[in-house]
Amino acid sequence: MFDRRKFVGSAGIGLAGLMTGCAPRAVVSPSPGPIAVDGWTVLNDRPALDAEVSPLIDDIQRRAFRYFWEVTDEKTGMAPDRWPTPSFVSIAAIGFALTAYPIGVVHGWVTRAEAAQRTLTTLEFLTNAPMGDAPRGVSGYRGFFYHFLGSTRGYRFSLSELSTIDTALLIAGVLFAQSWFDDPADPVEARIRELAEQLYRAVEWTWIMPRAPLVSMGWHPESGFIRSDWDIYNEGMILYVLGLGSPTHPLPDGTWDRWAERFEASWGTRWGEEHLHFAPMFGHQYSHVWIDFRGIRDRYMAGKGIDYFENSRRAAYCQRNYAIENPGGWAGYGADCWGLTACDGPGDFAMTTAGQKREFFSYSARGPGERDDGTLAPTALLGSLPFAPEIIEPTVQAMYFRYGAQVYDKYGFLDAFNPTITRRPPEPFKHGELRLGTGWVDKDYLGIDQGPIVAMIENHRSGLVWDTMKKNPHIRRGLERAGFTGGWLS
């Protein structure tokens, strides 16, 4: 039987403490001092936080941080796409890792010097990575990096694309490190700021606009520019802000407004209040990891009378309403069990469940009414915590108590699970396995899903990432060139 005290380590937090949201108790040790429930944090090194969270949320964030600290290569700073399955490197996961390290510092999970050295190692590896238009033996081209890199030398992995959005997520983490490591007397931190600036200035945003004013999704040395552009509302906000803020290769004036002209087709009311729809939840999360959109508005949102933060809040409620309605009749869905986004899935096959033939997918972007196959991803909830904590934290708690150790392990919630699949499919699972009482459960963690968890929990707790990025002149310049006004920009 699953012991609900297990997730907090040797100290244990009782059921009453979890349900009431009491702060975790420390194990008192004569030396070196009080130790937190994770068994490795010296509480004397933990400064007071601005907002309390439940012991479960605290543990989830700590475990998500440990994912980046422990599975990232300490000699290169390269972060794997997934773990424990052997994996190539994800450049977006590196951006999330760089964002996680200072969060570990403010909680006392690692020292500032340790985080600075890991960050410097990462930036040195990236700035020294070979660039060029050759199909092999390079890491990127014109300042952009390939989506996936090999785990040893950091060269392009297989036929992966030169990715604009994944480079943007990487650079967002780089600029966060630039602004957070601000000690003028520390040579390591000074070098971090210098390399961060170098990496950002190298990105040639204007080169990858074959169909201006839009930015292409990427490029292959074998075939040229990808035919798809960033042309609808989605996670591309961070990309356009960075491109507009560039001091060396800035996107042209009016780029944001020309892009936003296309948003109206995504505006609607299905499953909730009016908002810009993008079915998978990650599209409402990623840009918000680094930019506080509360109270600032571009021309499009000013015309709607809301901001993008409110839009993401409505998107979270939309997902919950969809799960309550549950038009697909998927097992487990309800007010206290929901969350659809891009994540692992059981595989690409069809099988009959409950007398109905259904189609299932492996890794896919899922959302209300789009490729929904009953697969739930905890990151859809936890990466949205600041938007709607009143519905998300109770859902996370209910999910934990319903499924327990079947879906919660070393680095927190496993990437995804599917309660509808309770027997083996006609072909082997691509990922994961069947687990009694739960259904299909992924066995991996994904860096791009762990990243929003650790960062957005911190934004909910203290606003650390948001407040740090407000000091970055590149971010401010990008937002202002996009036409954002009001709020903290004023």
pLDDT tens sequence across 370-394 = 999 999 999 999 999 999 999 999 9
The count of other CB atoms within 10 Å of the CB of residue 93 is 31
Count of CB atoms within 10 A of residue 111's CB? 12
Task: Quickly list DSSP for 83-109.
Answer: ESS---EEHHHHHHHHHHHHHHHHTTS
Residues 122 and 260 in one domain: yes
Neighbours of 117 (CB within 10 A): 17
97 and 237 fall within a common domain: yes
**Which letter, b or e, does each residue of 337-354 get, where b requires 16 or more Cβ atoms within 10 Å of its Cβ?**
bbbbbbbbbbbebebebe
CATH number of the domain that 464 lies in? Answer: 1.50.10.140
Token digits of residue 299 = 């021309």
Rounded Cα distance, 480 and 489, in Å = 8
Residue 36 lies in a domain: no
383, 302: one domain: no
From 34, 46, 40, 37, select the one nearest 14 (Cα to Cα). Answer: 37
Domain membership of residue 5 (yes or no) is no
Please check whether residues 430 and 471 belong to one and the same domain: no
6 falls within a domain: no
Q: What angle do CA 428, 433, 371 make, to 5 degrees?
A: 75
- Residues 103, 65: contact at Cβ < 8 Å? yes
Closest to 292 in 3D by CA, of 390, 379, 387, 389: 387
Is 166 inside a domain boundary? yes
Q: Kindly state whether residues 111 and 254 are assigned to the same domain.
A: yes
28 within a domain of the structure (yes/no)? no
Is residue 38 assigned to a domain?
no
Residue with tokens 């490197």: 89
Residues 183 and 127 in one domain: yes
Same-domain check for residues 134 and 266: yes
Quote the pLDDT of residue 50. Answer: 64
Q: Are residues 130 and 267 in the same domain?
A: yes
Distance, CA of 305 to CA of 357 (rounded, Å) = 43
C-alpha distances out from residue 176 to 245, 429, 473, Å: 14, 38, 11
Same-domain check for residues 231 and 185: yes
What's the pLDDT at 51? 66
Total count of domains within the chain: 2
Whether residue 50 lies inside any domain: the answer is no
**What is the widest separation between alpha-carbon atoms in the chain?**
68
Together in a domain, 92 and 200: yes
The reply to whether 420 falls in a domain is yes
Domain with 74, as residue range(s), is 56-308+447-489
d(CA 347, CA 448) in angstroms, rounded, equals 20
> Which pTM does this prediction carry?
0.91
Q: How far apart are CA 94 and CA 91, in angstroms?
A: 5
User: Within the chain, which residues score under 70 in pLDDT?
Assistant: 1-51
399 with 283, same domain: the answer is no
- pLDDT tens track for 75-100: 999 999 999 999 999 999 999 999 99
Measured between alpha carbons, how far is 171 from 143 in angstroms, rounded to an integer?
A: 10
Task: Give backbone dihedrals phi and psi of 106, rounded to 5 degrees, phi first.
Answer: -65, -20
Whether 119 and 265 share a structural domain: yes
